[in-house]
Amino acid sequence: MAQFADKIYFNGAIFTADAAHQITEAIAFKDGKVLATGTLDSLKPYISSETEQIDLAGKMLMPGIIDSHLHPFWGGLQLSGCNLDYQSLSVEETLKFIQDYLDRDEHKGDRDWLPVRAYLRHAVLPLGYDITRRDLDQLNTVRPVILFANDCHTLVANSRALELFGIDESTPTPKDGTIRRYPDGTLNGIMEDAPAMRAYDSIPTLDATTAIKVAENVQQLLNRQGVTTVMDARALPLQFDAFTAVKEAGKLTLRLLGAREITPDDSPTVADVPRAVEEMATFAKKYSDASWDVSPGIFIQHAKFFVDGVMQAPIHTAALLSPYRINYGTKSAPEYRLSEQTGDLYYSDELLTALITEVSRHGFHPHMHTVGDGAIEATLNAIEKMRAQVKGDIRPSLAHNELTSPHQYERFRALEAIPCLSFQWADYPQVFADEMKEILGDERFQYLETAGKFYDAGVRVAFGSDWPIDPLDEWFAFKVAVTRRGDGDDNPRLNTDRDLTLTEVLRSATIEAAYMLDADRYIGSLEPGKFADYIILDRNPLNHPPEEIGNTKVLKTYVGGKEVYCAQ
């Protein structure tokens, strides 16, 4: 018996993202799934008197964007409250901005936290200056105040905040980050990497009702960008409770996946690994749906490991194979020389191997934060050992990979490890490109923020925006991927790699991201039987110059065949 389509689109560019890279003229949907693709003539047997037929007038219809590494709830929180909006400000301008907010805000108590978000530590003016607790203590307030950096790896606390965190001069430096001090040994209020994140997580900012509103707002923002599936790269109870409530109310408009972190504190020794993984599995079971369905659901299929930190000055906690070059002079008279500093690895080789192997045995996919080539090497070594012990379909992924060593591209391919890249990070203003070339030296600089080199080595590449590290703009990220430059006169092309093709970019944000998430059986391409997660664009971007890709607008977004966004 012939099946009749609920809806057929025709006269467009249907970017299917299938294995054959087909772009067809028409597509048919039924019951929230793809029924068929092809020419309009080939789909006529699926048309009945009740089939809705829609002329795309040359526009593109493609799978919904899959953002495989971001922090959606953090992003939602950043959009409310005191937000520096990624501005490059002087210390005086920063303090005035915060003081003006404090003066307007009705909350005045010494337990009324003020998190200040979207803070650009590396761009404080004059460049190279670090805001510390002494600066924040100048504010006219008794409130605990913190600056939370846009990269989520730095938190600056005033004295009252440090007191409530329970951090003082006797607090030991943890294994997975740094608590900074002045030269006299007293705390300067700066925390880096995991201590910063844990401190931020401990701030009591939301009740359950407000958290649900944040979740609802976040999914609308993402749907507007054409996003239909995300993976929260640091799954915590607050956001997953909120999104679960949204789902149970029948209002979920995203497919939500999560990666649950196992920290070095969770598993201090190899003997602790089985217990830590069981606790992670219990968390995953609590929030994961029993099976995939046309309607969006929630799944935790990944384990997260912060293997290193960040590479940019002044932190330098990303692990490198060779030492950083450090400026022993001043900003005005720099003197870069090779140091002995190679950054930090937050897990021993033995512990990382044991953790990656054990989560893989449990059927979870290991997902690692790896910025420097030293962290990449340690992680690939652990994956190689895991592959020798664990059989089955395990899909390890390494997020960020800002500095890759030449020999590592082939290792990614051989080990079937997936780089998860934020394409917009190739947008380097000239001043920061010059600084990074000094820090790395000319030879290593040629492997900064690469993507094409992975493709050319035969490696699958997934896209993950890492929002709110940068403002949420998926199509700007795609524009940077195909041009290797941002906007503005001070953003020259980053000549460390070739431009990606738009086809490569769109596949990274659809079928390749779905593969990384172990969801490609259901989503990521428009093939018969897969869920009807798709978007309609205002143009066919394949027919426009690469520098115009960022102007692409999403007209409609569908999840499981249901419209979740329509442009006004």
Question: Which of these, 174, 169, 218, 232, lies nearest to 198 by C-alpha position?
Answer: 174
Buried b (16+ CB within 10 A) or exposed e, 437-463: bbbbeeebbebbbbbbbbbeeebbbbb
d(CA 163, CA 33): 54
343 φ/ψ angles, rounded to the nearest 5 degrees: 85, -165
What pLDDT digit, counting tens, does each position of 168-203 carry?
999 998 888 889 999 999 999 999 988 998 998 899
pLDDT over 80 (residue 205): no
d(CA 504, CA 452): 9
| Secondary structure of residue 367 in the 3-state scheme | strand
d(CA 76, CA 218): 5
For residue 273, the model assigns a pLDDT of: 98
What pLDDT digit, counting tens, does each position of 265-274 carry?
999 999 999 9
DSSP code of 480? H
At 153, the pLDDT band (50, 70, 90 cuts) reads confident
Assess contact for 547 and 218: CB atoms under 8 A: no
d(CA 365, CA 262): 13
Question: Hey, which residues does 65 pair with through a beta bridge?
Answer: 227
What pLDDT digit, counting tens, does each position of 31-50 carry?
999 999 999 999 999 999 99
For residue 173, the model assigns a pLDDT of: 86
Say what percent of the chain tops pLDDT 70.
100
- Tell me whether the omega of the peptide bond preceding residue 126 falls within 30 degrees of 0, making it cis: yes
Assess contact for 55 and 102: CB atoms under 8 A: no
Assess contact for 373 and 405: CB atoms under 8 A: yes
Distance of CA 517 to the CA centre of its chain: 13
Residue range 278-303: mean pLDDT, rounded: 98
pLDDT over 90 (residue 376): yes
What pLDDT digit, counting tens, does each position of 424-470 carry?
999 988 888 999 999 999 999 999 999 999 999 999 999 999 999 99
pLDDT over 90 (residue 223): yes
Question: Which of these, 341, 307, 271, lies nearest to 194 by C-alpha position?
Answer: 307
Question: Which of these, 334, 216, 194, lies nearest to 266 by C-alpha position?
Answer: 194
pLDDT over 70 (residue 73): yes
Buried b (16+ CB within 10 A) or exposed e, 168-180: eeeeeebbbbbbb
- What pTM was estimated for this model as a whole? 0.94
Assess contact for 368 and 305: CB atoms under 8 A: yes
d(CA 272, CA 539): 54
How many Å from the N-terminal Cα to the C-terminal Cα in the chain? Answer: 40
d(CA 93, CA 80): 20
Residues in the chain: 568
d(CA 233, CA 462): 14
Question: Which of these, 202, 233, 229, 351, lies nearest to 297 by C-alpha position?
Answer: 229
Helix-strand-coil split of the chain, %, nearest 5: 35, 20, 45
Could you identify the residue written with the tokens 């607008």?
Answer: 553
The contacts of residue 184 (CB under 8 Å, 6+ apart) are: none
Question: Hey, which residues does 27 pair with through a beta bridge?
Answer: 9, 37
What pLDDT digit, counting tens, does each position of 231-246 carry?
999 999 999 999 999 9
Strands 554-559 and 534-537 come out as antiparallel
Order of strands, sheet of 23-24, starting from the edge strand that comes earlier in the sequence: 23-24, 13-15, 60-63, 534-537, 554-559, 562-566
d(CA 7, CA 52): 5
